[in-house]
Structures are given as C-alpha cells and as structure tokens.
Amino acid sequence: QVQLQQSGAELAKPGSSVKISCKASGYTFTSYYISWIKQTTGQGLEYIGYINTGSGGTNYNEKFKGKATLTVDKSSSTAFMQLSSLTPDDSAVYYCAREDVYYGLLPGYVMDAWGQGASVTVSS
Amino acid sequence: DTVLTQSPALAVSPGERVTISCRASESVSTLMHWYQQKPGQQPTLLIYLASNLESGVPARFSGSGSGTDFTLTIDPVEADDTATYYCQQSWNDPRTFGGGTKLELK
C-alpha cells in the first residue's frame, strides 16, 4: 500500500535550518509529484509547493520562496524539504503528500496520500 | 491567492444529515477536493474533483458544486465522523485550503 514516512520531530534555534524527509513506498516514486503543506493552529493548512520527482522541477508558493527548498533522491524514493533562516513563525507540523492526476469533467492534481507529519519547533 | 471560506464549526446528532459549505473567492471550476482530519492524524482524501468519492470512503459522504460554491454532505452522520473537514482547490496557483470546519457530534 502507498505509504509516506516522514522524519521525526525537530527542535531548532532561530536562524538555523532543518531538513525534513519523506520516504515513499508502495508505488513508483517518480510517477507522482510530492507536495509539502504547513499546518499551524493559527493559519490552518498552507501549501508550500511541489516537486516533480521525475525531473526534479519545482513549483513554490510565492510566500515560501527563499524559505523552503524541495529536493528528491530517486535512489531512495525520498523527498526532502529544507527550511532555512528559521523563526518562531516556522514552528508547525509539516506534511508531505503524493499528488496524482485525477480525471473528472476536467483533470486535476489531488493529494491522495499524506505522510504522518513532522513537527518543527523553533525556539532559543 | 484564491481564498476558500468555510464555517468554523458545526454540531449535529448521529443519524442526521449535515452539509459543510466552502465558498471560493474566484472560480475554481470543478477542481475542488475535500479532506477529513481527525485529531492527531494527517488529512485523508474524501472527495475529489468536487463530486467524486475516493476509493474506500463510505458512500455516506458526497460532494457537489462548481465555480465558487461547493458542499460536502454526510448522510447519515456517525460518531466516527467527528473531525475537521477541509476544502482545497487546485485550479488556481497556488493551491489553497479552506480554514476547516470542525464537526462535533451531540
């Protein structure tokens, strides 16, 4: 079955960086995009961006350009997100999700499987 | 960005029918999807492309709408449906989520 296994909780200091991993199994990794989503109590769910796991091409929400960097390692079927110059506002749970093209009246990308989430806490 | 507006919370009794609404600030055609998130868990896909039931999701769940107004219906509601429900659009860039509707059972 499709599984996305994320790395564990991170405690980081302001100004530092963290790198979260998302290891995929149960499907052909390079056939689907991986998206990243931020969840906070105050802001709800925010879309960070996606990476084309086959080509390595990326698309970022403008809000997260310069903050998040998405990469993949095809050999291990793992996607990564690095968050840089951390501030307390970056404290959140971060999810990875597989995106597949679904077909209805129009085709559209849908997040059909999610990782369990990785908690990042930024504190001095 | 496309803003998706949902009512914050609803309370219903088991066996009743509940509708959860999502209004978009601009048209998203039919590229609207619904997710369920239970406390401490990741979201899971319920409905895709406005009205299509994801495999394995009970037929008690249904979706409708197009353009700017969308609805998720649960009929009948069961105790296990206690969760927060999010709409999400993938028509406009960036993809955006609604603020979520917390469903509580009386």
The nearest CA of chain A is from the CA of B6 a distance in Å of 12
Mutation target among A45, A46, A94, A112 for the B interface, most CBs of B within 10 A: A45
In chain B, % of residues over pLDDT 70: 100
User: CA-based angle A6:A60:B2, to the nearest 5?
Assistant: 105
Query: Which of A63, A104, A111 has its CB closest to that of B30?
Result: A104
Query: Which of A49, A63, A108 has its CB closest to that of B90?
Result: A108
Beta carbons of A45 and B88 less than 8 Å apart? yes
Interval B22-62: pLDDT, tens: 999 999 999 999 999 999 999 999 999 999 999 999 999 99
What average pLDDT does chain B have?
97
Reading phi first (left if > 0) and then psi (alpha if -120 to 50, else beta), residue B99 is in: alpha
Beta carbons of B49 and A112 less than 8 Å apart? no
Beta carbons of B97 and A47 less than 8 Å apart? yes
List the one residue out of B99, B101, B74, B82 whose CA is nearest residue B38. Answer: B82
Give the Cα separation of B36 and A113 in Å (integer): 12
For chain A, say whether B73 makes contact (Cβ under 8 Å). Answer: no
The nearest CA of chain A is from the CA of B47 a distance in Å of 10
- Residue A106 is predicted with a pLDDT of 82
The nearest CA of chain B is from the CA of A84 a distance in Å of 21
For chain A, say whether B43 makes contact (Cβ under 8 Å). Answer: yes
Number of separate helices (H) and strands (E) present in chain B = 0, 11
- Residue A105 is predicted with a pLDDT of 78
For chain B, say whether A110 makes contact (Cβ under 8 Å). Answer: yes
Interval A58-94: pLDDT, tens: 999 999 999 999 999 999 999 999 999 999 999 999 9
Structure tokens at B105: 């059972």
Interval A24-43: pLDDT, tens: 999 999 999 999 999 998 77
Structure tokens at B45: 């896909």
